[in-house]
């Protein structure tokens, strides 16, 4: 008999479906559901996947962008190589300038979609875990601001904590629309939420910069 977590995992319909349909993780269905609802990724897009391992979201992105698009996946952990020629994997910490420079180099400057399903490594101490989560979210937003092209899209996982509302407010001027959602495949007991920013407005196009 396996652990309770193992037993629950094997009963999970998305886990089973991922096995049957050859997806690397059940998380693939979260991105599929998010994409169906918000039309985030289109054929030919350049997509940056932050916290990509084992590669479930990257797989879905590769399907969506087709041969004309590019997908760059970054993770601290090693993950199985993709054989598609338009996929670039980076092993490293996306909060560091070196990795951010590498991303920019690979995409040639700009991306249409920045997505992050990254989870901080948790230590169990609430205040520390919340700070780690905030740092990760801030890094994703900073990367999005540096590389998103005008009208590009952002989708990222966040854990609801004390800074959640101010983070959402800060995003509102930066995108035409900001939505929060929890896809059906996200486990109900998890405090994760997904924040979607549609149609990025570069700084020069924002109201506060016009006079
Ligand atoms: C839930 S998993 C992502 C699952 C993935 N979306 C999929 O569909 O297979 C979260 C990942 O975020 C990665 N991660 C967390 N912080 C990171 C960082 N600073 N830089 C790179 N990867 C990070 C973790 O190593 C982990 O593999």
**Best mutation site among 15, 18, 23, 118 for ligand 1 pocket (most ligand atoms within 8 Å of CB):** 118
HSE (CB half, 13 Å, CA atoms) of 112? 15
Domains of the chain with bracketed CATH: 27-209 (3.40.50.150)
Per-residue pLDDT at 208: 64
User: Of 32, 64, 112, 157, which residue is the catalytic one?
Assistant: 157
Cβ(93) – ligand 1 distance below 6 Å: yes
- For residues 29 and 200, the answer to whether their CB atoms sit within 8 Å is no
Cβ(194) – ligand 1 distance below 6 Å: no
CA dist., res. 15 & res. 209, Å (int): 47
| Residues near 39 by beta carbon (within 8 Å), at least 6 away in sequence | none
DSSP assignment letter at 122:
P
Per-residue pLDDT at 160: 85
Per-residue pLDDT of the chain (211 residues; tens, 9 = 90+): 567 767 677 788 999 999 999 999 999 999 999 999 999 999 999 999 999 999 999 999 999 999 999 999 999 999 999 999 999 999 999 999 999 999 999 999 999 999 999 998 888 888 888 889 899 999 999 999 999 999 999 999 998 888 899 999 999 999 999 999 999 988 887 888 999 999 999 988 887 655 4
Strands of the sheet containing 46-50, edge to edge, are 87-91, 70-75, 46-50, 111-116, 148-159, 192-200, 175-181
Tell me, in angstroms, the distance from the centre of ligand 1 to residue 204's CA: 32
């Amino acid at each position: 008999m396996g652990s309770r977590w193992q037993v629950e995992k094997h009963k999970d319909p998305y886990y089973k479906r991922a096995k049957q349909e050859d997806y690397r993780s059940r998380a693939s269905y979260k991105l599929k559901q998010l994409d169906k609802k918000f039309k985030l990724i289109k054929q030919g897009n350049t997509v940056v996947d932050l916290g990509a391992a084992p590669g479930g979201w990257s797989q879905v992105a590769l399907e969506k962008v087709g041969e004309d698009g590019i997908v760059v996946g970054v993770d601290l952990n090693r993950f199985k190589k993709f054989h598609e020629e338009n996929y670039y994997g980076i092993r490293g910490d996306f909060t560091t300038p070196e990795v951010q420079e590498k991303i920019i180099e690979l995409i040639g400057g700009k991306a249409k979609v920045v997505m992050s399903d990254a989870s901080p490594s948790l230590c169990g101490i609430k205040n520390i875990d919340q700070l780690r989560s905030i740092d990760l979210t801030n890094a994703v937003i900073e990367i999005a601001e540096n590389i998103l092209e005008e009208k590009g899209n952002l989708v990222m996982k966040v854990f609801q904590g004390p800074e959640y509302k101010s983070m959402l407010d800060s995003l509102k001027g930066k995108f035409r629309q900001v939505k929060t959602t929890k896809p059906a495949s996200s486990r109900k007991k998890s405090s994760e939420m997904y924040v979607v920013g549609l149609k990025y407005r570069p700084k020069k196009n924002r109201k506060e910069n016009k006079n």
